[in-house]
Structure 1
Amino acid sequence: MIQTATQSLLPQSSTPSETEIIAYLHRSYQWAEIINAVELEAMILALCQEFGIEITDEEWQTAGDAFRLKHQLLGIQQTQAWLQQQRISLEEWSEGIKNQLLFTKLKEYLFGVQVDGYYLANRDHYRRVALSQILVRDLDQAIAIAQLLREQNASFCALAIEHSLGQQSQTNGGFMGIRYVSELAPEIAQAIKNVEVGVIIGPIQTQVGYHILRIEKWFPLKFNQSARERVLEACWQVWLKEQSS
């Protein structure tokens, strides 16, 4: 009875119109972001047309199969349910797969020959590191925590759970996972450079507060497909910045 009464108070939901969606994007300050994404996609497609970049049906099918496997869409019913949840058609999903493939080919076309040289010149950015941190707002508190770690061999895990503002570091006892150095804030990337495993670093100030860091493990440099994709994306971002300047 209570559940029925509560449900009766809720308005009947309906699919919003395009006008309502656009109005919401304006109100939530997301309109510029959407417009920029649309303009970027249009530019990418125009460049692909200019350079004669195309994809084959086989490439298209393979990419679609890989997407379904990644998202566990292993049957027609699962795929249809996912499309309904996303509120898109099969054709719209398929077109999105095609555009992503074209974007990948465009980056390879523009920067493929530069990848090895760029990687060698910036390979420190593509090192992977297992990192722990404690993040606090107050400098005095950060200094006190660093002293406890260095001078009294206090538990990094316990201090992170008690003091760290970062939800991930609180939950995991300070452990932030395995990251590429290029993913880190510049101040942190510079601070950990050439630091050995187990050394307490900081406090290091960034825009979000003061970080006390500890290197858990450095991983050997490996120029695999993941690293190559990151280099291509870095080249693309540099190129975009140059075009807009």
Structure 2
Amino acid sequence: MQKTMEKTQLQFTQESSLPKIPPLTDADIIAYLRRNYKFAEIATNAERDALILAICDRRGITVAESELQAAGDSFRLEHKLLSSSQTLSWLQEQRIAVEDWSSGIRVALLTKKLKEQLFGASVDSYYINNRKNYKRIAFSQILLGEETEALKIAAALQQDKAAFCALALEYSKDRQSKQNGGFVGIHFLSRLMPEVAEAVSEAKEGEVVGPIQTKFGYHIIKIEKMFPPQLSESVRDEILESLFKNWLKDV
């Protein structure tokens, strides 16, 4: 009886083991994108790159070999690819050739140069006219589904703000804030949902605001830190990208 059971178990294991398949071809991957309705999204990104390359060619924007080399070195450093073997291993994992990787870096450099040529001189004036949009805020939140529950927790927090972390861990419906004790990071005020941005724009550090109703539920926000607007490199890049995206829509 025991032998019969062992034999049956072995047969089941053999039959249920996954079959070995060869690596998928590019055509297989394209078919996957099509049947999962992701092809249009990828096609749009590819068309954007093609448009950028055409515009750069028309405007005579090029990338020198030394620039390509420097950008490649920066990429490897950022991704901790500190040796040739590590780089080659990473390329194999990505299933791309060195030429594909270099091409991607080249497109990124050309895109950056095109943005700068088109809008570099406009960044300062745009920032001055839209300065309030580049105020940043570090905050925590508790997201709840029911207004009654949200009001109850908000009332408790008015008595004990220190309980925010514990309450977020226990009650928040948002996965990120639940995992991080409420903290959701540092964000530009302009990138927040309008209802949230309006409610917290004049709040003070340490203040608890809400509940704020949005389409996702009821948000209780704790202001961890407010960062005054500043034309940093990251803000400059943000402005260039925004102006560039709007321009591409009209090309």
TM-score by length of 2: 0.89
Query: Which amino acid letter does the alignment assign opposite residue 204 of structure 2?
Result: E
Rounded Cα–Cα distance in structure 1 between residues aligned with 2:150 and 2:49: 44
1:239 matches 2:247: yes
Question: Out of 99, 111, 115, which is 1:107 matched to?
Answer: 115
Hey, what does 1:187 align to over in structure 2? Answer: 195
**Deviation digits for residues 99-132 of structure 1, max 9, x if unmatched?**
0000111111111111011111222222221101
Provide Cα deviations, 1:84-110, integer angstroms capped at 9, x if missing partner: 000000000000000000011111111
What is residue 42 of structure 1 aligned with on the other side? 50
- Specify which of 101, 108, 124 is matched with residue 132 of structure 2: 124
Report matched runs for 1:23-62 at 5 Å.
Answer: 23-62=31-70
Aligned length: 243
**Match in the other structure for 1:22:** 30
Task: Give the match's secondary structure for 1:141.
Answer: helix
Aligned pairs for 1:32-181 within 5 A: 32-151=40-159, 153=161, 155-181=163-189
**Does 7-16 or 75-84 show the bigger shift?**
7-16
Task: Say which one has the larger Rg.
Answer: 2
Provide the rounded CA distance (Å) in 2 between the counterparts of 1:7 and 1:78: 38
Of residues 178-187 and 19-28 in structure 1, the stretch that sits farther from structure 2 once superposed is 178-187
Cα offset, 1:234, TM superposition: 1.2
Pairwise CA RMSD: 2.2
**Corresponding residue number in structure 1 for 2:3:** none
Give, in whole Å, the separation in 2 of the partners of 1:65 and 1:189: 39
Alignment partners' CA distance in 1, 2:161 and 2:216: 26
Residue aligned with 2:30, SS: helix
Query: Of residues 213, 229, 238 in structure 1, which corresponds to 2:237?
Result: 229
Runs of 4 or more, structure 1, over 6 Å off, are none
Distance in 2 (CA, whole Å) between partners of 1:163 and 1:68 is 41
Q: Which runs of 5+ in 1 are unaligned?
A: none
- Contact between 1:148 and 1:154, CA under 8 Å: does it hold in 2? no
Counterpart of 1:155 in 2: which secondary structure?
Answer: helix
